[in-house]
Amino acid sequence: MAFPLRSLILSLSLALAAAPAFSSEPPGLMHLPDVKAGMKGTGRTVFQGGKIETFNFEVLGVLRNVAPGHSYILIRASGGPLAQTGILAGMSGSPCYIDGKLIGAVAIGWGFEKEPIGGVTPIGEMLEGLKDLSDAPAPRTPLILPKLEPPKVLKTALSGGMIPMSELLGPQEVPNGGQMLPLPVYGASTAPEFAPFWQGLPLRPMAAPGGGSGGGEPSPLEPGGMVAINLVQGDFNISAAGTITYVSGKKVYCFGHQLYNLGPVDLPLWSATVAACLPSVNESFKIASPVAPAGALRLDRAMGVAGLLGAEPRTVSMRLGLNLGGRRNLNLRFELMDHPLLTPNLAAITLAQALSAHVKGQGFQSLSLQGNIKVAGHPPIEIENMVADLNGTRLASYLGGVLQTLTLNPWERANIEGISLTVKAEDRLDLTAIAGVRTLKARVKRGSTLPVYVMLQNIQGSRESVVMNLFVPPSARPGKATLLVGDGFSLVQADPDERAIDLSSLGDLVRMLNGGLKNNHAYALLVQAQPGAGLRGSRIEGIPPTVVSMLGADGDLNANRLQRQIISRAVLPLESEVRGLTAMELEVE
């Protein structure tokens, strides 16, 4: 998808920013103490295309201090389609005026309501909460998440999964039983297999078309106008749409409630158009899509969001090549929201939906994923995974987990320069099971090589015996040892290395990821109880010995405790997904 030239975008955006709003002078403000029940006024929003229309409302009362320092103005609205739809998702931010003075922005509603009753965020609270909007992008500071220690995030990634967003963000609630009007999210699939990527988000994918860009009548960038915030753009769009509340010079204030309440952000802000308003017994919403770049969203607070017209947002570039069984090749490009919490989920959603759109949904199929993630100042993180089924979400979760390990680290903000991926689809099931393991003897000598005979079985039932030679190091302790043979993900779950490993930088995580066990390799690991390294109490499971050898003890009190440790390993790369795990007891002499 081609985008307009940056110079044209900037010129257009600045011209729109300089254009007068709906009147030559900005409206005055009416603060909360002056708002009384029974007052009547008008609001501005878009119901169709880009045209701003008015609706009427009556103040029912003021819900004071529903949260510390936060109140709502309760209104009953009328006009346009509201008698049939009630308060619409997508009306968030619609400015409300009494006697020409702005009182606030529509922000909350109630499900299954029989009348268009909603809550308005007072304009004073909204502007106060967004007063620290800066002309400059947010600095790239580290994101500290003390509840998510690196071992947990890293183990999840090395097991092929990712931390659920619901665990990262926690519950999103509105006082007094109301619900924050969910910003309609267009372009994201509502299929059940994609639900885990969205659970816990205040944004809700809508079961309706939308999210495309470049068509329709753009809404004016003034109070009541429709805007879209692009979470993903390019050959695939995911957009959240809402309404402008207030414009001051280049500064634009929207929504009356949070996007994610992330504080400083940097997101593409586009003008938008409304295709239709869809009535629903549960929750009505606007069907909208972005039209043209307008600036950058820079601040996300509980009382609203704010951005700058004409500003350039920073995004993360993601390229995806699809090789569809040699019959067709596709090259897709995307730009993702750049944020430690959300970039991993958006990358996973984009990959999963690209596979869903282009890979067949029935029959035998194997998908292999390769590529890299480039992080400024560090070696590229190599991506490699394979699934012998039609479940593209497994590849997506693996990608998201690796990205979470990078972005949720507590040491420095990972500057992701680009994600480059290739997925190859084959019309066959490339699945290998570990059907059996044996050795010629149960006692092995230190300094010798132990032949491990592994029986592999493919999906058709054909068997093949291979030999993996495992060297027993002279440093091994006399006594019992455990031989583990399996795929990389199963071995990580089995926790073969209990030693505590000292992680002190993003560079350590990069080395761990590049040395991680893969699910298209078979591994033979010799595990033995050894004195624990005892490094600061942090544990990382499934660490390759080459990485472990680079790290030493720090005199922790646990240093003398016996812990399981990988003392040797052998690797057998396979061009298929490997499944299975077998354990055997051996005696080291």
What percent of the chain is modeled with pLDDT above 90? 49
Label residue 550 by pLDDT band (50, 70, 90): very low
Q: Is 496 helix (H, G, I), strand (E, B) or coil?
A: coil
Residue 544: the pLDDT is 47
d(CA 255, CA 122): 12
**32-91 pLDDT, tens digit each:** 999 999 999 999 999 999 999 999 999 999 999 888 888 999 999 999 999 999 999 899
Contact in structure between 204 and 182 (CB atoms under 8 Å): yes
Residue 482: the pLDDT is 92
What is the enclosing helix (H) or strand (E) of 64?
Answer: strand 51-67
Higher-confidence position of 302 and 16: 302
Q: Is 455 helix (H, G, I), strand (E, B) or coil?
A: strand
Residue 586: the pLDDT is 93
Q: Is 433 helix (H, G, I), strand (E, B) or coil?
A: strand
What does pLDDT average to over the chain?
82
Strand locations in 440-509, DSSP E? 443-444, 449-458, 463-471, 479-487
d(CA 64, CA 70): 7
d(CA 347, CA 131): 32
Residues with Cβ < 8 Å from 441, sequence gap 6 or more?
none
Q: What does the angle CA 388 – CA 391 – CA 393 come to, to the nearest 5 degrees?
A: 125
**384-402 pLDDT, tens digit each:** 998 887 677 889 999 999 9
Among the listed ranges 163-177, 285-299, 394-408, which one has the minimum average pLDDT value?
163-177
**255-272 pLDDT, tens digit each:** 999 888 888 889 999 999
What domains are there in the chain, each with its CATH number? 1-142+165-313 (2.40.10.10), 316-426 (no CATH), 431-588 (no CATH)
Q: Above 50 in pLDDT, residue 538?
A: no
Q: Which of 274, 267, 270, 242 lies closest to 257 in space, CA to CA?
A: 242
Residue 412: the pLDDT is 85
Label residue 213 by pLDDT band (50, 70, 90): low
Residue 249: the pLDDT is 93
What is the enclosing helix (H) or strand (E) of 229?
Answer: strand 226-234
Residue 559: the pLDDT is 42
